[in-house]
Structure 1
Amino acid sequence: MADPASSLAAAGAAHILTPLELFQQADIVVKAVMGLLILASAWGWGIIAAKSIQLAILNARAKRLLKSLAHGVPLTDLSETFLKVQPNDPLRVVYQSMIDENKRSAELRHSAAQQESLLDRVYRVGQLASSNTLDRLKGGLQSLATIGAVSPFVGLFGTVWGIMNSFQGIAASNNTSLAVVAPGIAEALFATALGLVAAIPAVVFYNRINGNIGQFGKSLKTFVEVYGVELSRQLSKGETHGRLAA
């Protein structure tokens, strides 16, 4: 004779709802909430993947560049390296902005005061270009922050709505059996789960990407300062038209 407890467990296992079934059986409002959270999660992962790949490439390139400069490679030899990357590459943008300022000041570097003013302008231009570059790199992070902050509450709304419907079903059927209540509650809680699935990666990678952007910002700052040192050295040698302007 079969064990009644085993039979009950087998019957329960046979009626376990899959995530797809939970979605299909949910109320239209809960379905809308679930769909919104799925889209938010997909959007967040798209931003995460794009930013992570982009920053990994940028930080690796910046690390190689600074390593080359530390080994004595002149900045004048970097032009060919920068010509191989896209014009909108952050490192090239910062480099080109300083080169352009140096060229525009070709006739304003005769006296010591003019040279000092040139160094200050080039440094300021480099810092401004770096700041603008970092602002562009942060594009999309606001969306991640929004997903991380709002998704749990959207999921909670779906849960509350689903539980309300479950209680209304209990009242209408006058049946408090767990078999009647459980599916509706499971659908409602699934909305909360989706909210957390969307929010947790968004929060984790928001902080991680921000850290990677900060690391790249430090590399940009170092590069600008190294360029200023090299330009100062060229001016001190009396190369008024300096190879750095080439």
Structure 2
Amino acid sequence: MTAITMLAAGAAAAPSHLDPVALFLHADIVVKVVMGGLLLSSVWVWTILLSFGFRMMGLRRASASYELDFWKSRDLEAFQAERGNGKNADLPVVKVVTAALGEWRRSATGKIDRDGARQRLSNVMDSVVAAEAEQLADRLNFLATVGSVAPFVGLFGTVWGIMNSFFQIGQQQSSSLSVVAPGISEALFATAVGLFAAIPAVIGYNRYSHMVNSFEAHLQRFADRFHASLSRELDGL
């Protein structure tokens, strides 16, 4: 077989595009573990992104409906007894109202200290708002971790793969592309997988952090408005 024939045969056998599955299967065991961990992290990232997105949509819709009826109500105790139970009991805005009304009942009995009651109502509602915002943002910590760590984990797999390629050069006493290229391709694929996990995590963390902050600010405005309403009631006692 002539050299031209061999080159033609090699060109015909060469793949026309990158095959991620083949790159993973042919990678070193350490690189496989790195890529496998990154892929699992990516799956979990997308699970959080989808579930958190649907959760925030549901919270906003349910909260808007509750607040609309809340400000129309003339008997807050009866309204809360009717609308503050069941599936609505877990709404942050319902928890704010429940905590405030509970403190209101305790403060409105016996001798009334108006200034003290106002301060206690403010503290109770602020505490609930902060706790609910913290609970919402808790799952976002994983997104922040993956976004900051995944590129370095992928880079570790790349460094290990390149080291393995140089080891193969020493073993085979050859620096031809046929010896070096496969290992380097597999190594660089680890970095690509790391970026594949990190980029959605960073974007999702930034976007959802903004959503949580916006929801917390809205909840705080509701609490301030409710506090003002209760403060006027205190003036009439």
Task: Name the TM-score, length of structure 2 as normaliser.
Answer: 0.86
Q: Go from structure 1 to structure 2 and tell me whether the alpha carbon gap of 1:67 and 1:7 turns closer, same or farther (over 3 Å shift).
A: farther
| Number of aligned positions between the proteins | 231
The reply to whether residue 107 of structure 1 matches residue 109 of structure 2 is yes
Larger RCO, structures 1/2 (Cα 8 Å, 6+ apart): 1
Distance 2:181 2:75 in 1: 69
| Structure 1 residues without counterparts, runs of 5 or longer | 239-246
Partner of 2:63: 62
User: Offset at 1:56?
Assistant: 1.9
User: Offset at 1:59?
Assistant: 2.4
Q: Go from structure 1 to structure 2 and tell me whether the alpha carbon gap of 1:230 and 1:40 turns closer, same or farther (over 3 Å shift).
A: same
Partner of 2:190: 191
Distance 1:67 1:96 in 2: 17
Distance 1:102 1:89 in 2: 20
Distance 1:24 1:154 in 2: 19
Report the residue type matching 2:85 in the other structure: L
Distance 2:8 2:204 in 1: 45
Contact residue 75 and residue 230 of structure 1 kept, 8 A: no
Taking only aligned residues, the RMSD between alpha carbons, in angstroms, comes to 2.6
User: Offset at 1:73?
Assistant: 4.6
Report the residue type matching 1:202 in the other structure: A
Contact residue 63 and residue 91 of structure 2 kept, 8 A: no
Partner of 1:154: 153
Partner of 1:92: 94
Q: Go from structure 1 to structure 2 and tell me whether the alpha carbon gap of 1:75 and 1:27 turns closer, same or farther (over 3 Å shift).
A: farther
Report the residue type matching 2:234 in the other structure: L
Distance 1:108 1:134 in 2: 34
Instruction: Kindly report which structure 2 residues correspond to 1:1-246, keeping only aligned pairs within 5 A, or say none.
Output: 10-13=12-15, 16-67=17-68, 72-74=72-74, 76=76, 78-79=79-80, 80-108=82-110, 110=112, 114-238=113-237
Q: Go from structure 1 to structure 2 and tell me whether the alpha carbon gap of 1:116 and 1:169 turns closer, same or farther (over 3 Å shift).
A: same
For residues 24-54 of structure 1, the C-alpha deviation after alignment (integer angstroms, 9 at most, x for no partner) is: 1111111111111111112222222222222
User: Offset at 1:133?
Assistant: 1.1
Report the residue type matching 2:89 in the other structure: P
Report the residue type matching 1:96 in the other structure: T
For residues 72-96 of structure 1, the C-alpha deviation after alignment (integer angstroms, 9 at most, x for no partner) is: 5547264233224343332222111
User: Offset at 1:105?
Assistant: 1.8
